[in-house]
Amino acid sequence: MNEIVEKPQIDFAYEIHKMMVDKKITLIYEGEVNQSIVKAFTAMTERRIDADESESTKKKVFHVTVECLQNICKHADNPVTGEAIVPGEGIFIIAYDDDNYIVVTGNPVANDKLPDTTEFLEQINVMEADELKALYKTKIRENRLSEKAGAGLGLLDIVRKTKNPLDFQIKKINDKVSFLLMMAKIERVK
């Protein structure tokens, strides 16, 4: 007779599966994000989106996926020291509900970068469409002059394309680093 033995990893895998089904998570990844991962996950995202979705919704989800993964790849910091690392590491999740696709990302960010980052997110989250467009054009022009000037361009473009603010939270890791979580909502056009 088979004796029931606790196997925490197996139980944990089942709990993750149940949560993913309950929360309608279609894709989840945690780890290094490099250009190969960006390519693989954008291709996977295209395959995982419901075939009945509108082309507009599919394009927006694809675009947000690329921007979010690029953001982790280029801007994640070392989770212990806060020093810049390339490629970055983080978490990436795609889920959906009746009305939206939801893309959640998270990555370590040096605490000294957080004031500028949160100020920028708060700024773009309250801008009107014409203000976002003007700021985007300005950032594009500045980016031609300096790579640093383009910082935030991807986040700005997500807000512009989705017409929704980027929700964000910060979880302190230590005195040097925090974990920045962001959530983008893409309305499902029916």
* Long-range contacts from 179-182, C-beta under 8 angstroms, 24+ separation: 179/79, 179/106, 179/107, 179/108, 179/109, 180/106, 180/107, 180/108, 180/109, 180/114, 180/117, 181/104, 181/105, 181/106, 182/68, 182/104, 182/105, 182/106, 182/121, 182/155
* Three-state SS at 175: coil
Q: Residue 153: which of 138, 170, 131 has the closest Cα?
A: 138
* Three-state SS at 69: helix
Would you say 33 and 91 are in contact if contact means Cβ atoms under 8 Å apart? no
Would you say 188 and 96 are in contact if contact means Cβ atoms under 8 Å apart? yes
Element holding 67 (H helix, E strand): helix 55-75
Residue 79 has a pLDDT of: 87
Would you say 73 and 34 are in contact if contact means Cβ atoms under 8 Å apart? yes
Would you say 173 and 87 are in contact if contact means Cβ atoms under 8 Å apart? no
- The sheet that has 100-110: what strands, in order across it? 25-33, 88-96, 100-110, 177-187, 167-172
Residue 9 has a pLDDT of: 87
Residue 146 has a pLDDT of: 47
User: Which portions of the chain are predicted below pLDDT 50?
Assistant: 146, 148-149
Q: What topology does CATH give the domain 8-108+166-187?
A: Heat Shock Protein 90 (3.30.565)
pLDDT in tens, 56-100: 999 999 999 999 999 998 888 988 888 988 888 999 999 999 999
Q: Residue 36: which of 48, 44, 47, 46 has the closest Cα?
A: 44
Would you say 177 and 111 are in contact if contact means Cβ atoms under 8 Å apart? yes
Residue 4 has a pLDDT of: 62
What does each C-alpha distance from 24 to 17, 42, 100 come to in angstroms? 10, 18, 11
Radius of gyration of the chain, Cα coordinates, nearest whole angstrom:
18
Residue 144 has a pLDDT of: 59
Residue 15 has a pLDDT of: 92
